[in-house]
Amino acid sequence: MAQRQTDEWRKKLVKCLAVIESWDPESEVSADDHFKEKCILFGVLVDLAPDGAQRDVFLRAYADYLREQDGDYQGRIEWILPVKDYLRRISSMSGAEH
């Protein structure tokens, strides 16, 4: 955890977020695979965030992505499961973080 507090670690994590956000769906076998994999990676970033401020950045990016995909996936289990995961992450936060 101490390593995650360094500026270098934070910069790499933000750079990783930029790569994930710019990831092109055409690089995957299907749009569904791309969506699932991207949601998993957003979840990993949230888990790796060293503090609440950076975690908030990743949670907001994850929420924005889910919102963008809502039109294509709304009501489908492929969309509902990541939304449930997102909500679980938010509800498990302590009072101050929430």
Q: What is the pTM of this model?
A: 0.81
pLDDT in tens, 12-36: 999 999 999 999 888 888 888 899 9
Per-residue confidence (pLDDT) for residue 48, from 0 to 100: 87
Q: Where are the alpha helices (DSSP H) in 1-98?
A: 7-21, 31-48, 52-73, 77-91
**Is the separation of the CB atoms in 42 and 68 below 8 Å?**
no
Q: Judge residue 28's burial from the number of C-beta atoms within 10 Å of its C-beta, 0-12 exposed, 13-18 middle, 19 or more buried.
A: middle
Q: How many residues does the chain have?
A: 98
Going by pLDDT thresholds of 50, 70 and 90, the confidence category of residue 93 is confident
pLDDT in tens, 33-82: 899 999 999 999 998 888 888 889 999 999 999 998 887 776 688 888 88
